[in-house]
Amino acid sequence: MDNMLRRLIVRPKRLVEKYLHEGEIVADLGSGPGFYTLPIAETVGVTGRVYAVDFDPKSIEALKGKVAGRGLQGVVEAHAASAAEIDFLQDASVDFVFANGLLCCMLDHAGALRQIGRILKPEGKARLSISKLIRKKDPRVVTKGEWEEILGEFEVLERGESLTQRWAVLSLK
């Protein structure tokens, strides 16, 4: 998930910086070991805050090491938790939610979406993406129909699709 080849193809900083501003509060849900978290933290700067959340404690420990190595301890707060159980984040406290491939890695899609809606500020935005390459019998899969239902719960600001994924930038209705 966090290797040089992927970094050359995806360019995480280029993707996140167009949505973020210095000083913003961001929740990176499904952060893994920090592929996007670190560029997000660098973009929001020392006046911003990034809450990195991943269900895998090993990924969170790896991320904490990278954060320390870059001197970003005051910017990134990492938690090993499900995105459906992020009660440590206050209601309407987050400017931007970044959830890249999150939903197709978990079973409780509705729980994660409730939490995203709860933590977003009224003027906040979220960027969600899902993989299209998951086996149909996988219980974590987000079908095209479910994706459209998810988008219907929010105001769609941008959306797109590639060979491997669907994505959208959303705000609260």
**What whole-number distance in Å separates Cα of residue 30 and Cα of residue 79?**
10
pLDDT for the residue numbered 8:
54
pLDDT, tens only, 77-118? 999 999 999 999 999 999 999 999 999 889 999 999 999 999
**What is the residue type of 83?**
A
Identify any residues that bridge with 169 across adjacent strands, giving them in sequence order.
127, 158
pLDDT for the residue numbered 13:
84
Tell me the three state secondary structure of residue 138: coil
All structural domains of the chain: 4-171 (3.40.50.150)
Residue whose tokens read 């095209």: 144
pLDDT, tens only, 50-85? 999 999 999 999 999 999 999 999 999 999 999 999
Q: Is the pLDDT score of 3 beyond 70?
A: no
